[in-house]
């Protein structure tokens, strides 16, 4: 198992912790459907994935994961309030055009919302900028700025401030340290490499 | 190498090769949704591959408006063109005939050998013409289900089709949920929008305003060719796309013969469309065109109950495929179906292919589409 697979699975275990048996789950930015396949196996969920890449939708078809090829916002708008038990954004909030509106839609359509994100306030990122004046290139951010999608990275404290401003309730949260395996309990904005939030309206 | 040279070669490995059409005849009267009946039902069909002992490897293919039951192989070694989906169907192809038993019938109402306005009413010995009952997509599916019965098949491994075939596919999933293992509806919609109805009616008007049409009582050997060819030319434009036509024809000109009239063929695109219109007259019946286009205009999964309530009957996993350049049945109409299925908590997938070939994209060679079909059928 590669290091990144291991990391991914820790992430999945925490996401699965907050998913109920047989829940209806919507995974926005589902990629190749690996998380939904995992949740289907572990929790017998009815899961739907959404992605903008045809290749990734094809992978979902291979996995037997129902998937919608298209825009996250347009699909969310077609669902009734609380249509899903849980809406998941796993490393996808930073990629959407209007995160504020999309998260509000996610909270309307899902009874609960999971947001997993890379903490941009992680100390390594800070040191890289402080000493090199450059963004970090590592396993998490393997590519240079000109090879990546437009992205809107944010930190743990920025996300906390957003939840407070929008009166979004944080039901649970887990921080992972820089190796993404052990949990991080102190100074998460500086010491957490990854954060997973469980939100409700 | 042109088509005729290709056909002279022996069928290469991976082809279904020589095929024969068969006729399914039910001597029971067939009742239409409209209440009308015909004394017996006949459907012309073809099959490829072998039905296994469990009879659970059958795939039903539903053809589009101007298509027919001949979707793979050739009828004779001289045939210029193989069936309309030949590159998808065959041993080792996306619809693999070494694994699946493939069935395709000429739709009820069609003019390639099935009961329809062009067929002979056994009671009168005359063609039905406009005495043929009002036809719906649901009638077509009901007739196909009788054919499937006659082959001893309870549950189809899959039903799939594009355009009118996509509508039939959805109707199958709704009307016979226990008989459909999975389905793929391509370039389809829950109902025609105003634009689609407008184009269809303009085509119908071209036919009925052709004096030769004579209320449907024309001599089949001299049909209302002006009306039917213009209807086909216009419809054909709606099957293509701006970008596709530009790439294929642009403003390319034909060499103009000396003495050509001002309005004779000048551009390649004119020549192409006139040829399409003319060849259609030779292979398609005008009354049939009226019936089938009307059946499509009336197809409406939003009625008599809501789209969600209509689709609630579906149990099989489904795949809906839209094409970005399809402006006849645009992606949003395909998405609408998939979104309703997902609202209902069905196992449904929506995929959208970026292709320049308009509505007809599903008939064009595309590795992405092939991969999608193969993966979905085999999963």
Cα distances (angstroms) measured from residue A130 to each of A118, A137, A181, A189: 19, 14, 26, 16
Task: Give the residue-averaged pLDDT of B208-216.
Answer: 98
* pLDDT tens track for B265-285: 999 999 999 999 999 999 999
Tokens at B218, concatenated:
């024309």
Cβ within 8 Å of residue B281, ≥6 positions away: B223, B225, B228, B229, B232
Interface residues of chain B, partner chain A, Cβ below 8 Å: 317, 319, 335, 338-339, 342-343, 345-354, 368, 371-372, 375-376, 379
User: pLDDT band at B258, cuts 50/70/90?
Assistant: confident
Task: Give the residue-averaged pLDDT of A24-30.
Answer: 97
User: pLDDT band at A137, cuts 50/70/90?
Assistant: confident
Cα distances (angstroms) measured from residue B308 to each of A32, A65, A111, A179, B293: 28, 21, 22, 46, 25
Same domain, B57 and B198: no
B42, B63, B359, B360: the catalytic one is B359
A54 vs B319, B345, B353: nearest CB: B353
Same domain, B113 and B179: yes
Distance CA B202, CA B195 (A): 11
User: pLDDT band at B1, cuts 50/70/90?
Assistant: very low
Same domain, B261 and B350: no
CB-CB under 8 Å, A54 with B379 = no
Distance CA A152, CA A89 (A): 14
Residue whose tokens read 């012309």 = B44
User: pLDDT band at A4, cuts 50/70/90?
Assistant: low
Average pLDDT of chain B is 95
Distance CA B167, CA B141 (A): 10
Task: Give the residue-averaged pLDDT of A172-197.
Answer: 94
CATH of the domain at B208: 1.10.1740.110
Same domain, B253 and B263: yes
Cβ within 8 Å of residue B84, ≥6 positions away: B63, B67, B68, B70, B71, B363
End-to-end CA distance of chain B: 37
Q: Are A15 and A196 contacting, i.e. CB atoms less than 8 angstroms apart?
A: yes
End-to-end CA distance of chain A: 38
CB-CB under 8 Å, B379 with A62 = yes
At residue B237, the pLDDT reads: 98
Count helices and strands in chain B by DSSP H and E runs: 11, 12
Q: Which of B282, B62, B59, B278 is nearest to B167 (CA)?
A: B62
A64 vs B342, B348, B379: nearest CB: B379
Same domain, B282 and B323: no
pTM (2 decimals)? Answer: 0.94
Choosing from B264, B298, B332, the residue where a domain stops is B298
Q: Are B350 and B336 contacting, i.e. CB atoms less than 8 angstroms apart?
A: no
Task: Give the residue-averaged pLDDT of B20-45.
Answer: 98
Is the model's pLDDT at B45 over the cut of 90? Answer: yes
- Residues of A with Cβ-Cβ distance to B351 under 8 angstroms: 54, 57-58, 61, 67, 69
Counting the structural domains of chain B, the total is 2
* pLDDT tens track for B301-353: 999 999 999 999 999 999 999 999 999 999 999 999 999 999 999 999 999 99
CB-CB under 8 Å, B368 with A69 = no
- Residues of B with Cβ-Cβ distance to A78 under 8 angstroms: 339, 343
Distance CA A123, CA A29 (A): 27
Mean pLDDT check: name the lowest of A149-153, A162-166, B83-87.
A149-153
Residue B146 belongs to domain spanning:
3-193+300-378
Same domain, B96 and B198: no
Is the model's pLDDT at B138 over the cut of 70? Answer: yes
Residue B322 φ then ψ, to 5°: -105, 160
* Shortest alpha-carbon distance between residue A28 and chain B (Å): 14
Q: Are A30 and A36 contacting, i.e. CB atoms less than 8 angstroms apart?
A: yes
Same domain, B41 and B114: yes
Nearest-Å Rg of the Cα atoms of chain B is: 20
Cα dihedral across residues B276, B279, B283, B287: positive or negative: positive
Tokens at A45, concatenated:
């969920």
User: pLDDT band at A6, cuts 50/70/90?
Assistant: low
- Residues of B with Cβ-Cβ distance to A70 under 8 angstroms: 335, 350, 352
At residue B10, the pLDDT reads: 39
Distance CA B47, CA B377 (A): 18
Q: Hey, is the C-beta of A83 within 8 angstroms of any chain B C-beta?
A: yes
Determine if the peptide bond prior to B266 is cis (ω within 30°).
Answer: no
User: pLDDT band at A179, cuts 50/70/90?
Assistant: confident
Q: Which of B176, B173, B181, B177 is nearest to B56 (CA)?
A: B181
* Shortest alpha-carbon distance between residue B149 and chain A (Å): 29
Task: Give the residue-averaged pLDDT of B68-77.
Answer: 97
Residue B359 falls in the annotated catalytic set? yes
Q: Which of B200, B228, B371 is nearest to B296 (CA)?
A: B200
CB-CB under 8 Å, A66 with B347 = yes
Half-sphere exposure (Cβ direction) of B238: Cα atoms closer than 13 Å? 19
* Shortest alpha-carbon distance between residue A62 and chain B (Å): 6
Ordered by where they begin, the domains of chain A are 3-200 (3.40.50.150)
CATH of the domain at B64: 3.40.50.1820
Q: Are B268 and B253 contacting, i.e. CB atoms less than 8 angstroms apart?
A: yes
Whether ipTM exceeds 0.90: yes
Percent over 90 (pLDDT), chain B: 93
A37: three-class secondary structure by DSSP = helix
B351 vs A64, A69, A78: nearest CB: A69
Distance CA B258, CA B315 (A): 64
Is the model's pLDDT at B232 over the cut of 50? Answer: yes
At residue A8, the pLDDT reads: 64
Is the model's pLDDT at A24 over the cut of 70? Answer: yes
Q: Which of A63, A25, A18 is nearest to A44 (CA)?
A: A25
Spell B203-238 as b/e; 16+ CB within 10 A means b: bbebbbebeebeebebeeeebbbbbbbbbbbbbbbb
Q: Which of A96, A93, A116 is nearest to A19 (CA)?
A: A116
At residue B270, the pLDDT reads: 97
Distance CA B143, CA B166 (A): 16
Same domain, B182 and B202: no
Please list the residues that pair with B180 across neighbouring strands.
Answer: B156
Same domain, B283 and B318: no
Choosing from B240, B275, B298, the residue where a domain stops is B298
* pLDDT tens track for A98-107: 999 999 999 9
- Residues of A with Cβ-Cβ distance to B182 under 8 angstroms: none
User: pLDDT band at B255, cuts 50/70/90?
Assistant: confident
Same domain, B184 and B215: no
* pLDDT tens track for B156-187: 999 999 999 999 999 999 999 999 999 999 99
Choosing from B252, B273, B298, the residue where a domain stops is B298
């Amino acid at each position: 198992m590669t290091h990144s697979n291991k990391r991914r699975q820790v992430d999945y275990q925490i996401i699965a912790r907050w998913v109920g048996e047989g829940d209806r789950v919507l995974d926005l930015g589902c990629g190749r459907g690996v998380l939904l396949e995992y949740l289907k196996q572990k929790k017998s969920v009815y899961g739907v994935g959404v992605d903008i890449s045809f290749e990734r939708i094809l992978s979902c078809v291979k996995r037997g994961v129902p998937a919608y090829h298209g825009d996250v916002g347009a699909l969310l708008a077609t669902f009734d309030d609380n249509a899903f038990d849980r809406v998941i954004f796993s490393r996808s909030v930073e990629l959407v055009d209007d995160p504020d509106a999309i998260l509000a839609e996610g909270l309307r359509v899902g009874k609960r919302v999971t947001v997993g994100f890379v903490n941009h306030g992680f100390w390594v990122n800070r040191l890289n900028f402080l000493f090199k004046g450059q963004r970090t290139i590592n396993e998490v951010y393997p590519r240079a700025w000109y090879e990546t999608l437009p992205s809107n990275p944010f930190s743990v404290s920025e996300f906390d401030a957003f939840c407070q401003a929008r009166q979004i309730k944080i039901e649970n949260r887990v921080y992972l340290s820089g190796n993404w395996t052990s949990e991080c309990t102190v100074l998460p904005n500086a010491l957490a490499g990854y954060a997973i939030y469980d939100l409700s309206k | 190498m042109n088509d005729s040279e290709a056909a002279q070669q022996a069928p290469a490995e991976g082809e279904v090769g020589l095929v024969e059409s068969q006729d399914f005849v039910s001597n029971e009267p067939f009742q239409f949704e409209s209440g009308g009946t015909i004394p017996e039902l006949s459907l012309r069909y073809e099959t490829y591959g072998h039905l296994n002992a469990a009879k659970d490897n059958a795939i039903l293919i539903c053809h589009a408006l101007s298509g027919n039951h001949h979707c793979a192989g050739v009828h004779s070694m001289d045939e210029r063109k193989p069936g309309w989906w030949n590159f998808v169907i065959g041993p080792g192809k996306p619809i693999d005939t070494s694994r699946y038993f493939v069935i395709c019938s000429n739709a009820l109402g069609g003019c390639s050998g099935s009961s329809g306005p062009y067929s002979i009413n056994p009671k009168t010995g005359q063609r039905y013409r406009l005495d043929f009952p009002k036809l719906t997509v649901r009638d077509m599916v009901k007739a196909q289900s009788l054919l499937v019965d006659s082959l001893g098949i309870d549950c189809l491994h899959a039903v799939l089709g594009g355009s009118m075939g996509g509508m039939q596919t959805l109707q199958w999933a709704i009307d016979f949920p226990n008989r459909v293992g999975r389905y793929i509806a391509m370039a389809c919609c829950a109902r025609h929008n105003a634009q689609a109805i407008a184009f269809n009616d303009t085509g119908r008007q071209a036919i009925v305003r052709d004096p030769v049409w004579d209320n449907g009582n024309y001599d089949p050997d001299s049909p209302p060719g002006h009306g039917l060819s213009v209807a086909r030319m216009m419809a054909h434009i709606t099957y293509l796309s701006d970008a596709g036509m530009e790439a294929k024809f642009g403003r390319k000109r034909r060499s103009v013969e000396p003495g050509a009239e001002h309005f004779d063929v000048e551009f390649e695109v004119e020549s192409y469309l006139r040829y399409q219109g003319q060849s259609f007259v030779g292979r398609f019946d005008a009354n049939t065109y009226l019936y089938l286009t009307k059946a499509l205009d009336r197809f409406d999964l939003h009625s008599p109950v809501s789209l969600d309530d209509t689709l609630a009957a579906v149990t099989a996993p489904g795949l809906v495929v839209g094409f970005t350049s399809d402006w006849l049945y645009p992606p949003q109409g395909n998405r609408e179906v998939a979104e309703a299925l997902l609202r209902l908590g069905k196992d449904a997938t929506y995929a959208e292919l970026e292709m320049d070939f308009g509505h007809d994209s599903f008939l064009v060679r595309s590795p992405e589409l092939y991969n999608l079909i193969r993966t979905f059928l085999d999963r």
